[in-house]
Amino acid sequence: MNKPKRTSSIVSSSKRYEYDVFLSFRGEDTRKNFTSYLDKALNKEKIKTFLDDRLEKGDEISTTLINAIENSRISIVIFSKNYASSKWCLNELSKIMECKRVQKQIVMPVFYDIDPSHVRNQTEGYKDAFEKHKEDSRCNQWRNDLTEAANISGWDSRNR
């Protein structure tokens, strides 16, 4: 009698992602320089990215944006001097960090022309931004998400 053959292959239940990389950035700081170059370089290597340039801007994250974050294997968060001044960016970051915790999404921070400690501790321009956000009920969550993200080993553009 023949025994069924066992295979050593593991059946993968891994999720199929629509995007390889979601790029989170403050448009006015990096869209026309670092972010556009990074996007082009990733696309040249056949890495499918999602940019928010086709979405309407506002304070709330749209369903399209939430889906793009959830359906990305990796999120690259480009922290810049004015990132925290944007509630849109902070909401994106909260969703990204939720996906890191729940889906084990890979998060890669880039500190573009900013000291990572300013992000981690919300000092300098980040402190000023939070003064403007202090009445927002999401403020504490945003602070926690910034600290958590800035504690991930990332790339500091000042150390080229």
Active site residue ranges: 92
Please name which of 80, 77, 79, 84 lies closest in space to residue 127, comparing C-alpha atoms.
Answer: 84
Instruction: Kindly calculate the radius of gyration of the chain based on its CA atoms and give it in whole angstroms.
Output: 18
Which two tokens mark 17?
């992602």
